[in-house]
Amino acid sequence: MSHSDKDKDELIATLGKRLAKLESEVNSLKSSNPGIPEDVLVAISAAVSAYLGNDGSVQAIRFAASPNWIRQGRRALQNHSIR
């Protein structure tokens, strides 16, 4: 299928507009989430340290992309299959 130069230019313009909109949304999300508070980092570090017997260190922390991690955690804890 062959496209004319006009079709390609229109497609590029449309994609440029979509990209600008997405970049704007990402920037607004970044500004609305200033970071992880220090007390939360301390609590996470303490939990990891206790769980690993003080042999581990936290190297990176990030927020989950969606609230589904809560359901996944519950599902893992409530899994009654034989392991």
* Token code pair at residue 35: 């970071």
The predicted pLDDT at position 67 comes to: 65
Quote the domain boundaries for residue 4. 1-34
Residues 13, 41, single domain; the answer is no
- Say how far apart CA 43 and CA 62 lie, in whole Å: 14
Question: Residue 82: how many CA atoms within 13 Å on its side-chain side?
Answer: 0
Number of folded domains that form the chain? 2
5-61 per-position pLDDT tens digit: 899 999 999 999 999 999 998 888 777 766 777 788 788 888 877 877 766 666 676
Q: How confident is the model at residue 63 (pLDDT cuts 50, 70, 90)?
A: low
73: DSSP letter: H
The answer, as to whether pTM is greater than 0.95, is: no
Residues 54, 75, single domain; the answer is yes
Residues 17, 27, single domain; the answer is yes
* Token code pair at residue 57: 């260190």
End-to-end CA distance of the chain: 54
The predicted pLDDT at position 25 comes to: 87
The predicted pLDDT at position 10 comes to: 92
3-state secondary structure 22-52: HHHHHHHHHHHCCCCCHHHHHHHHHHHHHHC
